[in-house]
Amino acid sequence: MTDSPAPSVSGQRAPVGVDPTRASIARVYDAFLNGKDNYEIDRAVLKQVQEHMPSAQELAFENRGFLIRVCRFLATQTDIDQFLDLGSGLPTAENVHQVVQRVRPDARVNYVDNDPVVLAHGRALLEENENCRFVAADIFDPKAILENEEIRHFIDFNKPLGLFQMGTLHHYNGPRDAPKEMMRTLIDALPSGSFVALSHFLDPQNEHSTTARDAEEAFLHSPMGSGTFRTHDELLELFPGLELVEPGLVRCADWWPDGPQLRPLTSAQRCIAGAVGRKP
Ligand code: SAM
């Protein structure tokens, strides 16, 4: 394939979907997580990044662990019972609705993604669950998300909600400052008492910085073509107007881990961070 994909509304590449000759973000993430829904071209991205960061798969496992712990936290420690999960990815173990509905069976989860494979698998998984929706939309176009009728029909924006932006914004290839504005637009639209959870590749600005930047180069020049690492200060800008829940913006591995960390952290574990913020 030599033709360029058509740009979407936000100027990003159109989703790759089922084309097995092009890597898709969702399928590459599935390959990182040892899933089965990926092609050779997706696994090639993993191999390229592993050449610079052998522990690269832990970027995905740490991200996923953070997501699951955040779901459990919000379901048990807050009254949030509606969730908007932007860039949900292919169904895997412990999806958002499975974690939160274990605690709150009536919790509503609106998944959003633009990858046709994700939508097909997601809808198949959720056919029986009336408290879940899968909506096809461009998550890097926040106005379109906020005006989307399917989402507004399912999520009540007059009531606090949980907004997830997990492992997504580092795949935005437009202007470096744009994610900040995207988050501001989304957060402005949330009612007081809402929670926002976000995870993102981190440049730790220490002796592991070179590995982060090498991995970034590998991602950007891979068949997937995205994977930006941001510094702690840059990531803090993605939570405008929010009060961060303890312990604030930290490596995902350090956000209320399930147990003590006995082994030294790998490079990958040092290069992905996340936080949860509450809108006052
Ligand atoms: N949030 C999940 C998690 O943390 O486990 C999955 C993260 S996965 C790395 C990123 C997801 O974002 C993929 O499923 C991809 O299809 C989706 N995505 C990327 N760009 C998107 C866009 N412009 N609009 C909608 N979804 C997008």
Atom 24 (ligand 1) nearest CA: 138
Quick: pLDDT tens for 30-49. Answer: 999 999 999 999 999 999 99
Chain segment 76-131, per-residue pLDDT in tens: 999 999 999 999 999 888 999 999 999 999 999 999 999 999 999 998 888 789 99
H helices present in the chain, as ranges: 25-32, 40-50, 57-77, 96-103, 116-126, 142-147, 149-154, 178-188, 209-220, 232-236
Please tell us whether the domain made up of 57-278 is placed in CATH 3.30.413.10: no
Does 67 contact ligand 1 (Cβ within 6 A)? yes
- Pocket test residue of 28, 29, 166 for ligand 1, highest count of atoms within 8 A of CB: 29
* Residue 200: strand pairing partners: 273
CA nearest ligand 1 atom 4, residue: 166
The structure's pTM equals: 0.94
Residues 6+ apart with CB under 8 A from 256: 69, 73, 247
For ligand 1, atom 3, the nearest C-alpha belongs to 166
Q: What is the pLDDT of residue 35?
A: 96
Query: What dihedral do alpha carbons 255, 260, 266, 271 form, nearest 10°?
Result: 10
Phi, psi of 50 (to 5 degrees): -60, -25
Nearest protein CA to atom 23 of ligand 1, as residue = 138
**Encoding tokens for residue 144?**
């379109």
Q: Does residue 32's CB lie within 6 angstroms of at least one atom of ligand 1? A: no
Rounded Cα–Cα distance for residues 172 and 37 (Å)? 23
The string of pLDDT tens digits covering residues 172-219 is 999 999 999 999 999 999 999 999 999 999 999 999 999 999 999 999
Ligand 1: distance of its center to the CA of 117 in Å? Answer: 12
Q: What is the largest CA-CA distance in the chain?
A: 50
List the beta bridge partners of residue 85. Answer: 111, 164
CA of 137 to the centre of ligand 1 (A): 11
